[in-house]
Amino acid sequence: EIVAAIEAALADGPLKGRRIIVTSGPTHEPIDPVRYIANRSSGAQGTALARALAGLGAEVVFVTGPADVPPPAGVTVERVETARQMLAAVEDALPADAAVFAAAVADWRVANASASKVKKDGGGRLPALEFAENPDILARVAQMGDGRPALVVGFAAETDDVIAHATAKRGRKGCDWIVANDVSPATGIMGGTENAVTLITAEGAQSWPRMAKEQVANRLAQMIAEALA
Amino acid sequence: EIVAAIEAALADGPLKGRRIIVTSGPTHEPIDPVRYIANRSSGAQGTALARALAGLGAEVVFVTGPADVPPPAGVTVERVETARQMLAAVEDALPADAAVFAAAVADWRVANASASKVKKDGGGRLPALEFAENPDILARVAQMGDGRPALVVGFAAETDDVIAHATAKRGRKGCDWIVANDVSPATGIMGGTENAVTLITAEGAQSWPRMAKEQVANRLAQMIAEALA
């Protein structure tokens, strides 16, 4: 790991001098002190991408939720739990040349989270959770006026109609690229080691063959380097 | 690990010939293919207890949700995700001489879980989650007629009024012992390496000093061996 850190610090690749924010992992949204809402992101793809970008010489700020995989060496790690904390960490990390939002951010948080553990009342009554929409980190950064990163990349985890949903998402958010993947349980991608992505840009959709998440990361990092060149 | 497994298999302790079910870890209750409700159980205490019981010679069936710590060697591991799967695995593991329910089982599941990813509709509308109460695994086993384990032990994670809540829980569930702990965020117990427990039995409440989770496990295992002797 120390070797990796030194290599990254010394890396003299095409991204030398470029500052890139990468978000990764899930967010956890508390219900009460012991319960929370989570999502099935291992952080593997975001971690691989941060590693690949650092390997090309970028100064990477890695904003990560509670992920299964450890953060890569050679990057600045900012650990967060909730979507709102993630937004704050991203805002703190700006300005940047590029921002890649690979985290699986919870769309909603629990508006009436409890400071003490919610109890069953014995009468079979169910808890009344109220939800509030979380800030949309991707849209907020993509639609910045002054100080917008030159390249803003979002991820889309879809279970059906992947290209149509992801293309609509790109337009709605105002980002430059969307990296879309099909996370239907049958694909085994969520939590697995491989990924099958479709890259949506202004030019259209480009479907990549299924490959290891490291290969996806290397290919994306290379494209980011070309876009920033 | 292999050495530990062999040692456990050969262990000739006071629990030799006894079959003990231990549940551990959190459960995850799906909202849709990518989101779920979880709780902050690392599985550390249940894992330590299973290891300690195996070390005293017991045949341990370890029913575990998606925990942070790996299961111990020398036990039979049954991996589950939801509360209902955990109940089924416990029922399959019966009969047993003792059952210790250290898992942090979700009280509720989402009744209207979706087969495809729930989308924001763009109009700020919030998802309508409906909850259903999960089966109460501890109560169900503690209140079995024929085939009830001789010793049924529950855990109680409380944030306030620990002894009163845990004593009431023991009566309501019909179990023999409750191992209660204070999981208020200020204690640092949830996810930490130490535990401060109060043991509730028919004789009353016995508060133990704060100690490592391994020590709690060894002490409990010893008491279980004495109770089954």
pLDDT tens digits for range B11-51 = 679 999 999 999 999 999 999 888 899 988 889 999 999 99
On chain B, the residues whose CB falls within 8 A of the CB of A169 are none
**pLDDT score at A117:** 77
**pLDDT score at A75:** 97
Residue B7 lies in a domain: yes
Residue A122 lies in a domain: no
Instruction: Give the whole-angstrom CA distance, residue B58 versus residue B75.
Output: 9
CB A31 within 8 A of CB A37: yes
> Which of B34, B69, B169 to substitute to test the interface with A, most A CBs within 10 Å?
B34
Residue B124 lies in a domain: no
The parent domain of residue A199 ranges over 2-115+127-228
Percent helix, strand, coil in chain B, to 5, is 30, 25, 45
Residue B55 lies in a domain: yes
| pLDDT tens for each residue of B194-222 | 888 999 999 999 999 999 999 999 999 99
**pLDDT score at B193:** 83
**pLDDT score at B112:** 86
C-beta atoms of A126 and B126 within 8 A = no
| pLDDT tens for each residue of A129-183 | 788 899 999 999 999 989 999 999 999 988 888 899 999 999 999 999 999 988 7
In terms of phi and psi (left: phi > 0; alpha: psi -120 to 50; beta: otherwise), the region of B218 is alpha
Asked if the model's pLDDT at residue A3 lies above 70, the reply is no
C-beta atoms of B117 and A38 within 8 A = no
Residue A120 lies in a domain: no
Residue B82 lies in a domain: yes
On chain B, the residues whose CB falls within 8 A of the CB of A160 are 116
**pLDDT score at B169:** 95
How many structural domains are present in chain A?
A: 1
| pLDDT tens for each residue of A76-92 | 999 999 999 999 999 99
C-beta atoms of B35 and A34 within 8 A = no
**pLDDT score at A182:** 83
| pLDDT tens for each residue of B139-172 | 999 999 899 999 999 999 887 888 999 999 999 9
The 8 Å CB, 24+ separation contacts for B195-200 are B195/B45, B198/B162, B198/B163, B198/B166, B199/B223, B200/B156, B200/B163, B200/B166, B200/B167, B200/B169, B200/B170
Asked if the model's pLDDT at residue A43 lies above 80, the reply is yes
Give the nearest partner residue to A107 out of B120, B132, B185, using CB atoms: B120
Q: What is the mean pLDDT of chain B?
A: 90
Instruction: Give the whole-angstrom CA distance, residue B104 versus residue B112.
Output: 22
ipTM beyond 0.85?
A: no
Residue A219: count of CB within 10 angstroms of its CB? 16
Residue A51 lies in a domain: yes
On chain A, the residues whose CB falls within 8 A of the CB of B124 are 133
* Number of residues written out for chain A: 229
Of A195, A149, A203, A153, residue with least CA distance to A178:
A153
Residue B200, domain CATH: 3.40.50.10300
Residue B195 falls in the annotated catalytic set: no
Residue B121 lies in a domain: no
